A and B are shown apart, each in its own frame.
Chain A
């Protein structure tokens, strides 16, 4: 099972000090946080993609390329890549390039963005969100899998004999997750291709996500990618920890009360009861996260949101020490022990390459058999 963190990249005033970090500070802090993630033994760092203040990460591969150079094992991902407004040709090339630089430590999560106006900023029509996601992603897959692409669609100029460059590392395209908080169509899309489905359930109650994930698993099996429990599921999470539970609540409350998205709304107590947010001791975080498996089945990737709402860098790094030091080792052991042998682990470049080589051998053997029969 893969554990990691995902960041929105918001520049938010620390409500306890009134201090707002500069964009430069926030961007450098994200890099420091990613390096720390590797240092404390986490597997994945994922950055959001946003094109509006107060968010800074508009150029994910620039940031991930820089982090790739400063890390050795960390898997670099996105949360999410805008499949609707980015040109699929540009995504194909940017992430193949990153794959080579990072020695394959790259995957992506496709999403449709958090704000309507992003569509016109990139010359797209907001009313075509799902259609754009469908057409663009289908083209992206072909660009990674076919050396020469002839293509015609509705939303961009046709391609004639086009080769995106560089080709994916070892001929293996990056693994793709599809993120959704609302649309069953996206779960259906992920199932169709046998891709991963990431349910960022951190702001909403679990019943809705149980239906989304159930749909994804059922359709994954329907499309012949394996049994429903072999589908590749990722989940969000949001935690704040101190050794002593009361200290965690006391310290986090002002950040919670003023946080973007849910600030000024429900009480911390109500919100922790209805959503995955856990504010307390590492033991409480372990207990609540283990329950995710009861609700959603065996899953492959758990990402935590750790660095938002104006929390200072020093605090975030302390949180990562607790996450990597006390929480994840226990979760890793428990989840791995519970997972049946036929349920796959989280995909990596190495596992995808091995699968591709196995498939190639099978194909060769089949061909030889046919040749043998013929002679």
Chain B
């Protein structure tokens, strides 16, 4: 049995929010799929609403406060990420984007990511492909093929609800299939060997202190 950590980023603003509802269903499905193949999935859920002030402060000062740093570390070091946003003005919400703006540019390189969004009607469903996918492509995340869009109606009627559950199950399976026990072992060994403290990055390349070019080389490079 292997244990995987999945960070869930939920950008819903109302309480309770349908975005959080979808996020929980996705996390539950990944956990169940993991259990089915004998693995444990630990879920860390981040409500961006609670971090909204800290995110703005980071945008203004250039550094994260203690609470936000913990959240950033959780996402940066997770084995996979589930990112869920409400649709605002035809795209992801500003708060959702701001959170990924304050993440280290390399934080999600190669990380399996499941994208999901909620909106008033199914007419917004392509937001997954024209807004979320380009953002996570820029971040070089490993985006799973199935994105999950849930309109208000999906949570109501039986038929739509069933088809939402199908989409959730398929996406959760795709995310889990990216998490192979061997990869995970390798990642952990690399992390343990890495010097210094702080968040561990799968790529191991984003810490400038660990890739210092000796000055003779800097001089010679001229």
Contacts and interface: CB of A to CB of B under 8 A. Distances in A.
Interface of A: 130-131, 134-135, 138, 153-154, 183-185, 188-189, 191-192, 203-205, 207-208, 211, 215, 219, 223, 261-266, 270-271, 274
A203 B62 contact: yes
A262 B61 contact: yes
Contacts of B216: 192
Main secondary structure of the interface of B (DSSP, over half): helix
A189 B66 CA distance: 31
A266 B57 contact: yes
A266 B61 contact: yes
| A134, A192, A205, A266: most-surrounded residue (chain B CB, <10 A) | A266
24 contacts: A131-B221, A131-B222, A134-B215, A134-B218, A134-B219, A134-B221, A183-B208, A185-B213, A188-B213, A188-B215, A192-B216, A203-B62, A203-B63, A204-B62, A208-B63, A211-B196, A211-B209, A219-B215, A223-B215, A265-B56, A265-B61, A266-B57, A266-B65, A270-B65
B16 interface: no
Given A131-B222, A188-B218, A215-B209, A274 B56 contact: no
B96 to A, nearest CB: 20
B219 A270 contact: no
Given A185-B218, A188-B212, A188-B213, 9 more contacts: A185-B212, A203-B62, A203-B63, A208-B63, A215-B212, A264-B60, A265-B59, A265-B60, A266-B57
Interface of B: 56-57, 59-63, 65-66, 196, 198, 208-209, 212-216, 218-219, 221-222
B60 A184 contact: no
A203 B208 contact: no
A262 B59 CA distance: 10
A233 to B, nearest CB: 17
Nearest to A262: B61
Nearest to B208: A184
Nearest to A204: B63
A215 B216 CA distance: 16
Nearest to A215: B209
A360 B16 CA distance: 78
Contact of A135 (B196, B213, B222): B222
Contacts of A131: 218, 221-222
A360 B104 CA distance: 51
B211 to A, nearest CB: 9
B222 A184 contact: no
B102 to A, nearest CB: 13
Contacts of B214: 188
The 10 A-B residue pairs whose C-beta atoms are closest, nearest first, are: A265-B60, A192-B215, A266-B57, A265-B57, A262-B61, A135-B222, A204-B63, A188-B215, A134-B218, A184-B208
B48 to A, nearest CB: 18
Main secondary structure of the interface of A (DSSP, over half): helix
A183 B213 CA distance: 11
A208 B215 CA distance: 21
A67 to B, nearest CB: 31
B61 A203 contact: yes
Contacts of B196: 211
Nearest to B66: A274
Contacts of B63: 203-205, 208, 274
A135 B219 CA distance: 7
A153 B218 CA distance: 13
A204 B212 CA distance: 21
A184 B207 CA distance: 10
Contacts of A266: 57, 60-61, 65
A189 B215 contact: yes
Contacts of B60: 262-266
A257 B183 CA distance: 48
Contacts of A205: 63
A219 B62 CA distance: 27
A120 to B, nearest CB: 21
Contacts of B215: 134, 188-189, 191-192, 219, 223
Contacts of B221: 131, 134
Contacts of B66: 274
A261 B214 CA distance: 32
Contacts of A223: 215
